[in-house]
Amino acid sequence: MSRSSKGVQSSEPRASRLAAGDAHRRARQLAQGAISIDRVDAGAFRDWFRVAFARYLQSNFRNAEAVATSYGVRFQTALNWWNGENTASGETVARTLLDPAARAWFDQEWTGQA
């Protein structure tokens, strides 16, 4: 998380954390063919998903506080997701993907069409 000059935590994303890095490029390259679990490098996908989930939250919620309220998690957890420092897992991801619009968003991100 970033801090202002007065030491206050900010929910603004760090550009360096959200930039499409090498892992994101590798994940996109894997998507050029049919998506198959055995063709997807787990580490590359994990890195891609952490960044993609942060972008999804930033595109669909006002701020990290709204994320915390919606998902029923502590503010610090939501802020870590928002900043792409770590990502949701398990039932949080499953709950997100129950929304057809969220599924479409992630599919477009994965295939590089967004």
The tens-digit pLDDT sequence of the chain (114 residues) is 444 444 444 454 554 444 445 555 555 555 555 456 667 788 888 899 999 999 999 999 999 999 999 999 999 999 999 999 999 999 999 999 999 999 999 999 888 844
Contact partners, residue 86, CB within 8 Å, separation at least 6: 50, 80
Between CA 33 and CA 55 the distance in angstroms is: 24
Structure tokens at 4: 């202002």
pLDDT tens profile 55-70: 999 999 999 999 999 9
H or E element: which one contains 2? strand 2-3
In a domain, 70, yes or no: yes
**pLDDT at site 110:** 85
Q: Is residue 65 part of a domain?
A: yes
> In the Cβ-directed half-sphere of 32, how many Cα atoms lie within 13 Å?
4
* 1 located within any domain: no
Is 35 domain-assigned? yes
Does some domain include residue 83? yes
Helix ranges (DSSP H) in the chain: 15-18, 22-30, 42-60, 64-71, 75-82, 90-97, 100-111
In the chain, how many domains are there?
Answer: 1
**9 within a domain of the structure (yes/no):** no
Q: What is the reported pLDDT for 17?
A: 46
Tell me the torsion sign for CA atoms 106, 114, 45, 64. negative
Any domain includes 23 = yes
Domain that holds residue 77: 15-111
